Structure 1
């Protein structure tokens, strides 16, 4: 399945990138979603439309889960599902930054089997197939295996390191931030950063593609309790995410206060 789906995803990502970059970030029409769900732009919707047309035409029997499509229980009846974030990092897009990504994954019976994360303005295409490894622009990736230290470069928003989230003091690491969760995960797979974490409930479309890139690059990724990530849930969220090399992952997980979602 990955061998058949991965070229479809990478081609679709590049098509979507051309659509997204045809909109000028700060000029693109933007508005807030209801219920405080964050911003959306005309570019998000245009990318969603082209991905839906491209991917569902090629795989009409697959289900569909996207941030920008009204969810339906129909996907729960499908063994295989597309999981899409048309523009991950919409605020970054609106600001005119280059650090936003198109995230595309295929999950089969809850497990991601093929993934692509594309940053058009940085010309970075991350890809992974289950059992076939992870790549960046065709070059193989390997996650860092270093143990935790004050020099460990960890991608996380500042609130994740509030003392209440940790047993005792928060670990001393070199914290960094990028606005796109898919990109954060891809950077861990690339080995440019040692780990990433987000402790609040996370939407599947933000995580699915990057999760396979991490694991196929030799990293470890779980929810905040250490449980494996499963996708295409009735309510498509995960109980946080911790991703890193084995040693750092174990160290971070061992220090976390375990709270239910």
Structure 2
């Protein structure tokens, strides 16, 4: 864990503690914005995105003023490319799930150092769960399930489910899918249709800390803070099925 840079807030929070407090705090803000269903649908989603972004940005500016930030809800200036320490955040992962009253949405907070996620947290605010890189471990028993989209199997996931004899398990947002694997509700999450870095950086950081296998389909590591912050494909799975998983994906592609 990298130490806080000079000039950081006098509270001297560690990076992982700050990530955890950001994930939990933004989640509390988002839950509060749902108050008595005064806002719903697209309006609620837009407000949630905006208020969570503003709160996270203010906290990072206060506590890590010299770090760079890449966020779904903020303009990317490109200055982050000259920084070793970059916070990659998604203030509200799963805006549609959040706005429709579902529970399977998340907040992603990740610190990356030289392109690798180091101190990360993912909160599932509607269920009160918080996953952080210093407090996670791989589930003991396999579930026999593959997490998939709410809309069901696609070609990639159908292929993997058949090859590894995994049953589909439907979940909403990317963070909720990844945490289903961390929690042990599913054995794998396969995504081959592309995501932005903020969609998977914190989830992959947490999953790696839990001892899960995380990589591109070709087995190479997922590298962050790229000039084009886009990840074409990735897999998160139990370490004991990683070899079989990569073999199946290799045959597919």
Normalising by structure 2, we get a TM-score of: 0.85
Query: Mapping of 1:155-166 within 5 angstroms?
Result: 155-157=147-149, 161-162=154-155, 166=159
Please point out which of 201, 209, 222 is paired with 1:229.
Answer: 222
Shift of 1:173: 1.5
Shift of 1:246: 2.2
- 2:183 aligned residue: 190
Provide the secondary structure at the position in 2 that maps to 1:81.
strand
Provide the secondary structure at the position in 1 that maps to 2:33.
coil
Give the paired residue count: 239
User: Equivalents in 2 of 1:162, 1:229: separation in Å?
Assistant: 22
Give the gaps of 5 or more residues in structure 1.
33-38, 136-140
1:116 maps to 2:121: yes
- 2:210 aligned residue: 217
User: Equivalents in 1 of 2:156, 2:211: separation in Å?
Assistant: 30
Shift of 1:27: 4.8
Please point out which of 60, 79, 98 is paired with 1:55.
Answer: 60
Shift of 1:206: 1.1
Normalising by structure 1, we get a TM-score of: 0.82
RMSD (Å), alpha carbons? 2.5
- 1:36 aligned residue: none
- 1:28 aligned residue: 39
Higher helix share: 2
Query: Mapping of 1:125-144 within 5 angstroms?
Result: 125-128=130-133, 133-135=134-136, 141-144=137-140
User: Equivalents in 1 of 2:39, 2:110: separation in Å?
Assistant: 26
Shift of 1:165: 7.7
- 2:10 aligned residue: none
- 1:83 aligned residue: 88
Q: Where does structure 1 differ by over 4 angstroms across 4 or more consecutive aligned residues? A: 29-32, 158-161, 163-167
Shift of 1:253: 1.8
- 2:26 aligned residue: 16
1:96 maps to 2:92: no
User: Equivalents in 2 of 1:159, 1:209: separation in Å?
Assistant: 24
